[in-house]
Amino acid sequence: MTSRRDFLRTTALGAVAIAGTAGFTHAARAESLLRKSHGDSGDPMANEIALAAIQAAKDAGASYSDARVGRYRRQFVAAREHQITGVSDSESFGIGVRAVVNGAWGFAATRDVSRAGAVRVAQEAVQVARAAHTVQRTPVVLAPTPAVTGTWRTPVQQDPIDIPIEDKVALLLAANEAALKVPGVRFANSGLALLREEKTLATTDGTLVTQTFIRVGPSFTVTAIGDGDFQSYTEELAPRGSGWEYITALDMPGNAPKWAALAAEKLTARSVDVGRYDLILDPTNLWLTIHESVGHPTELDRARGYEANYAGTSFVAPPEKMMGKLKYGSRLMNIQADRVQQDSLSQCAWDDEGVAAESWMLIKDGVFHDYQTVRDQAPAIASLNGVNHSHGCSFADSWDSVQFQRMPNVSLLPGEHDSTIDDIIADTDRGIVIKNRGSWSIDQQRYNFQFSGQVFYEVKKGKITGMLKDVAYQARTPDFWSSMDMIGGKRSYWLGGTFSDGKGQPGQSSSVSHGCVPARFRQVNIINTARSV
Amino acid sequence: MPDTLMNRETMQALSKRVLAMSSADETRVNITSAASGNTRFAAGDITTSGDVDNTLISITSTVDGRRASTTTNLIDDASLKRAVDTALRLAKLSPRDPELVPELGPQQYQDVIASNSDVSNLGATARARAVEQLITATRSPGGAMPIDPASLFVAGFLEANGTADCVATSKGLFAYHASTDVSLSCTARTPDGTGSGYASSGGRSWTSIDPSALGRRAAQKAFASRNPVAIEPGRYTVILEPRAVADFIPGLVGSLNARSADEGRSAFSRKGGGTKIGEKIVDERVTLLSDPFDPDLLGQPFDTDGLPLKRVVWIENGVLKNLAYSRFWAQKQGVEPTGGAGGGFGRNPAGLKLTGGSKSVDQLIAETPRGVLVTHFFYIRSLDQRTVLLTGLTRDGTFLIENGKISKSIKNFRWNDSPLLSLARLADIGKPEPIEAGLVMPALKINDFTFSSLSDAV
């Protein structure tokens, strides 16, 4: 057995990055690039242990088994005003084994990543499956997937974990320093979340793959204090599947004064008058609305009721009445799902069931087309969409979590005309522009939502006339998307995202990106969120 | 659940091993050993079931007024040494922390017995049996059954956890606490998609949970909530069942932070400076507290620093009595630290209890001429910190009350309201009930609760 240091080194050297699958490419391109890395053997120790686990599960009576050996490195640096409030570094290493016995699932996981530990936990997974079988009425059926071997690594220039901590500290303190020079600004918080996750997957279908994911998540918030009032501003610094070069390019110290000035300006902004307005959503705001009102309802497990006890079900159900039939929004609405976009958080070569990453359409010209699927859900709609394979949406947030259906990147594709948000503003008689995410909430079937933002601008006769505050928009999903009558072009496409999309019991958190363009929505209900104590 | 939980002696030995490796000025070790088992079900089948064990070791090193931490789950000597060295290296590279307070020396702790073997012994087979019992109960819930109960879609989750925590410092502090917690929840939906009912229960002991009763309750609510009618959004008297109160009130707890209040950026900031401690902020029937020794809560008697946690009354008879003081902020303000100075929707490790009256939900309904009964809430988010204004939705059983009786099922609402302002508009308060481990809440009757729009969701 190799040492753990060898494990890390081997994984890094063995990795072959997939070169730029930028923007709006299709599955075919991703697959051709993937072939380059096929056949690489990954890390011998992780491979050996994962293979021992699935063999043990098979020996104990499993008809199918998969094992994931995961090592997660996370680093956080946080600053408030002129001081560092936290520097932490964590690693977590373990193995999780899934087994199907007599058509029932079982799972077990341990931090004991030895051959003996792997065998014990595989046998435990089989026992858990046998217990579940006593209640099982419908046996698990898995969509077929070809066996694959290979390695993949997020294409980055600089691994963020390897950047000296002094550089990270200096960057945050410089950003705070610059923000605090702005009159009225009293508090500044900034932070960096940096991740490197290495994952080896072996399945009894013959798949053996190792992937290394690198992700960065910067944050920046300032608070201005006025006469009996306080206002905060959070810049929308999208987390990405990128390297340190992305953090550098954001120029947080250089932009901090501009961001801080917005918090101070909010103190004197006019409180919004409630009513219906044409809403112009910047991509920094719209990405989260897409996530909640399109991403979640098009998850097949939700549509089939599997999240009924927690995250909720979906209005996009039952599948036979929805696919190719439901008018979701206006004809400008084309929504793509993918796990191949460069810099996105969902980018990978294979999901946690070894299914190759691809892209496919969820909504075409405003009509619902297809769901997000995993291997044990895809067969339920194969007769409806003619797709016999999983779309590759299986993901577990850790070695000790069981993989299940998680959202890929879900993005609003650009319009045909290459217009920008300025063109949309110029075309609007009375409206409100909203930037960045504020508060967000949506019901358990994804109909009624209410979102806020960080800054709001009043638009009159094609021009921005001033800043507003206390704004939130509230709508019903199909009405909202049907009212979309103008969208930006390729030039205005921007990739937002989150590190913390929650779903499942026990709760799991996944990272997901959403690309979009600015868009206008007609006559949306605006509420005022201010109250007095 | 795997039998891998560390006992006091093992944790003490492990923490000593780690402390001996450190050459920092001060070192703190936090260890969490966890073993858990869970079973998830939907469509009457178990969808996932699993057993997991893990141990997390956090090392916080202080050197020359600088501090940093590392966490690992690798407990061989070489890995621990690497984690210790990384913590020291990161600390040395960090700037001096002007808010640094020294690690604590030995403290006196009162033990809290919060472990039950009926939870740690709840294996996959026992969990499957409980799920079967619950699903069977939904098939014969009793009372009126307008549709075939076998057609209900039943989903839910059973989770049993065993946790051991310790804190040790290079200055001689050692604290250990073991606990168990278990919860079972389920949602039943009618096949036409118009009715949905929810029921849940939880605590530190499995014997207090009755899977059949939960199954029956969820099924009855699903039947009763079928074909909801829309009523106009607006201000209504509401009766929030204890589960809904447990969703709502912790949103207030995150705001009970002394520093934010002193800094003028909280609902508890006094105009002109300082905090609202000593002022009447809500109805005088309201008392909100955290107390690890309360037999209903059985919380952890220390925080991550190893600071002993005591009973803290946040609101007493409507008056703001305390805010959460970190050790740094307490020292600066010349008061005793409360520990557990969380933010956001954080839960206090010592638990949370809203004391109240003695009325049952049925009694509160009987005394209400017109109002809305809420089973629980969904997707609560902050709208405005200045007033602790939140937004969220009702879910899985929302009913109109007329003349002291449930008259009809109504469509769900989005609401925009504040736990702080709601407690000031309190109409009545029910009997406190255990919701989950460390959380006890009563039903509340609140006047003029703001439902802002209708939701089509069931």
Question: Residue B129 is encoded by which pair of tokens?
Answer: 């049996």
Domain end: A226, A243, A266, which one? Answer: A266
Q: How far apart are CA B364 and CA B356, in angstroms?
A: 13
- For B362, residues 6+ apart whose C-beta sits below 8 A from its C-beta are none
| Closest in A84, A225, A531 to B94, CB measured | A84
Residue B340: per-residue pLDDT? 64
Q: Decide if A173 is inside a domain.
A: yes
Q: Which CATH number characterizes residue A132's domain?
A: 3.30.2290.10
| Closest in B4, B49, B155 to A305, CB measured | B155
Confidence tier at B344 by pLDDT (50, 70, 90): very low
Q: How far apart are CA B337 and CA B308, in angstroms?
A: 10
Residues of chain B with C-beta less than 8 angstroms from the C-beta of A232: 265, 385
Nearest to B147 by CA among B84, B214, B225: B225
- A238 and A275 inside one domain: no
| Closest in B67, B90, B414 to A165, CB measured | B90
Looking at every residue in chain B, the average pLDDT score rounds to 94
Residues of chain A with C-beta less than 8 angstroms from the C-beta of B265: 187, 223, 225, 230, 232
| Closest in A89, A186, A223 to B90, CB measured | A89
Q: How far apart are CA B184 and CA B132, in angstroms?
A: 13
Instruction: Give how far A136 is from chain B: nearest CA, Å.
Output: 5
Residue A135: per-residue pLDDT? 86
Q: A205-253, pLDDT tens digit by residue? A: 999 999 999 999 999 999 999 887 899 999 999 999 999 999 999 999 9
User: Average of pLDDT values for B169-197?
Assistant: 97
Q: Which residue of A has its CA nearest to B53?
A: A110
Residues of chain A with C-beta less than 8 angstroms from the C-beta of B94: 84, 87, 165, 169
Q: Does A444 touch chain B (CB under 8 A)?
A: yes
Question: Would you state the CATH architecture of domain B8-222?
Answer: 2-Layer Sandwich (3.30)
Q: B278-333, pLDDT tens digit by residue? A: 999 999 999 999 999 999 999 999 999 999 999 999 999 999 999 999 999 999 99
The answer, yes or no, to whether residue A6 has pLDDT greater than 80, is: no
Which residues does residue B169 pair with via DSSP β-bridges, in sequence order? B28
Residue B4: per-residue pLDDT? 73
The answer, yes or no, to whether residue A7 has pLDDT greater than 70, is: no
Confidence tier at A42 by pLDDT (50, 70, 90): confident
Domain end: A232, A266, A300, which one? Answer: A266
Residue A531: per-residue pLDDT? 79
Q: How far apart are CA B88 and CA A356, in angstroms?
A: 42
Nearest to A125 by CA among A208, A58, A72: A58
Q: Is residue A473 within 8 Å of A524, Cβ to Cβ?
A: yes
What percent of chain B lies above the pLDDT cut of 90? 90
Q: Is residue B380 within 8 Å of B249, Cβ to Cβ?
A: no
Interface touch B128/A531, C-beta < 8 Å: no
Residue A28: per-residue pLDDT? 34
- Count of alpha carbons within 13 angstroms of residue B388, beta-carbon side: 28
- A259 and A279 inside one domain: no
The answer, yes or no, to whether residue B97 has pLDDT greater than 80, is: yes
Q: Decide if A474 is inside a domain.
A: yes
What is the per-residue burial (b if ≥16 Cβ within 10 Å, else e) of B136-158?
ebbbebeeeeeeebeebbbbbbb
Structural element, H or E, at residue B32: strand B26-42
- A189 and A297 inside one domain: no
Q: How far apart are CA A202 and CA A463, in angstroms?
A: 58
Q: How far apart are CA A334 and CA A363, in angstroms?
A: 5
Q: Does A169 touch chain B (CB under 8 A)?
A: yes
Q: How far apart are CA B446 and CA A84, in angstroms?
A: 43
- A100 and A188 inside one domain: yes
The answer, yes or no, to whether residue A527 has pLDDT greater than 60, is: yes
Q: How far apart are CA A309 and CA A49, in angstroms?
A: 35
Best residue in B32, B94, B252, B418 for a mutation probing chain A (most A CBs within 10 Å): B94
Instruction: Give how far B67 is from chain A: nearest CA, Å.
Output: 8
Q: Does B190 touch chain A (CB under 8 A)?
A: no
Give ipTM to 2 decimals: 0.92
Q: Decide if A202 is inside a domain.
A: yes
Confidence tier at A32 by pLDDT (50, 70, 90): very low
Residues of chain A with C-beta less than 8 angstroms from the C-beta of B381: 439-441
Q: Is residue B145 within 8 Å of B224, Cβ to Cβ?
A: no
φ, ψ at A90 (rounded to 5°): -135, 150
Domain end: A215, A231, A266, which one? Answer: A266
Q: Where in chain B is the domain with CATH 3.30.2290.10?
A: 8-222
User: Average of pLDDT values for A447-453?
Assistant: 95
Where helices occur in B249-395 by DSSP H, the ranges are: 250-253, 258-262, 327-333, 361-366
Residue A36: per-residue pLDDT? 37
How far from B44 is each of A305, A308, B183, B198, CA to CA, in Å? Answer: 11, 12, 19, 15
- Burial of A461 per CB tally in 10 Å (0-12, 13-18, 19+): exposed
- A239 and A282 inside one domain: no
Interface touch A447/B457, C-beta < 8 Å: yes
Number of C-beta neighbours around residue A134 at 10 A: 15
Task: Give residues 31 to 70 of B whose Cβ lies within 8 Å of A.
Answer: 36, 38-56, 58, 67-70
Task: Give residues 69 to 128 of B whose Cβ lies within 8 Å of A.
Answer: 69-74, 78-79, 83, 86-87, 90-91, 93-95, 97-99, 123-125, 127-128
φ, ψ at B441 (rounded to 5°): -140, 145
Q: How far apart are CA A262 and CA A366, in angstroms?
A: 36
Q: Decide if A533 is inside a domain.
A: no
Q: Does B156 touch chain A (CB under 8 A)?
A: yes
DSSP category for residue B309: P
Sign of CA dihedral B447, B451, B456, B457: negative
Looking at every residue in chain A, the average pLDDT score rounds to 92
- A327 and A439 inside one domain: yes
The answer, yes or no, to whether residue A1 has pLDDT greater than 70, is: no
Confidence tier at B267 by pLDDT (50, 70, 90): very high
User: Average of pLDDT values for B250-263?
Assistant: 91
Q: Does A442 touch chain B (CB under 8 A)?
A: yes
User: Average of pLDDT values for A182-202?
Assistant: 97
How far from A181 is each of A233, A250, B263, CA to CA, in Å? Answer: 15, 20, 18
Sign of CA dihedral A405, A408, A410, A416: negative
Task: Give residues 330 to 389 of B whose Cβ lies within 8 Å of A.
Answer: 378-387, 389
- A195 and A290 inside one domain: no
Confidence tier at B347 by pLDDT (50, 70, 90): low
The answer, yes or no, to whether residue A35 has pLDDT greater than 70, is: no
User: Average of pLDDT values for A172-195?
Assistant: 97
Best residue in B1, B30, B41, B49 for a mutation probing chain A (most A CBs within 10 Å): B49
* Cis amide bond preceding B442, omega within 30: no
Please give the tally of structural domains in chain A: 2
- Burial of A491 per CB tally in 10 Å (0-12, 13-18, 19+): exposed
CB contacts < 8 Å between A and B, how many? 266
φ, ψ at B228 (rounded to 5°): -65, 150
| Closest in B44, B49, B452 to A131, CB measured | B49
- A419 and A524 inside one domain: yes
Number of C-beta neighbours around residue A63 at 10 A: 16
| Closest in A83, A306, A444 to B378, CB measured | A444
Residue A40: per-residue pLDDT? 64
Nearest to B115 by CA among B54, B80, B162, B158: B162
Instruction: Give how far A321 is from chain B: nearest CA, Å.
Output: 14
Q: Does B457 touch chain A (CB under 8 A)?
A: yes
Nearest to B431 by CA among B253, B285, B319, B256: B285
More confident residue, B45 or A21: B45
- A194 and A289 inside one domain: no
**Side chain identity, residue B82:** R
Q: How far apart are CA B340 and CA B325, in angstroms?
A: 8
Instruction: Give how far A95 is from chain B: nearest CA, Å.
Output: 10
Residue B143: per-residue pLDDT? 78
- For A317, residues 6+ apart whose C-beta sits below 8 A from its C-beta are A303, A304, A305, B193
The residue segments making up the domain with residue A26 are: 4-266
Question: Residue B247 is encoded by which pair of tokens?
Answer: 């969703």
- A298 and A234 inside one domain: no
Q: Calculate helix-pair angle for A44-59, A4-14, nearest 10 degrees.
A: 100
Q: A454-509, pLDDT tens digit by residue? A: 999 999 999 999 999 999 999 999 999 999 999 999 999 999 999 999 999 999 99
Q: How far apart are CA B324 and CA A345, in angstroms?
A: 36
Q: How far apart are CA A286 and CA A308, in angstroms?
A: 26
| Closest in A132, A450, A452 to B128, CB measured | A132
Structural element, H or E, at residue A270: strand A270-271
Q: Is residue B378 within 8 Å of A443, Cβ to Cβ?
A: yes
The answer, yes or no, to whether residue B70 has pLDDT greater than 50, is: yes
- A230 and A321 inside one domain: no
Pairing of strands A430-435, A455-460: antiparallel
Pairing of strands B413-417, B444-454: antiparallel
Sign of CA dihedral B161, B167, B168, B174: negative
User: Average of pLDDT values for A513-517?
Assistant: 98
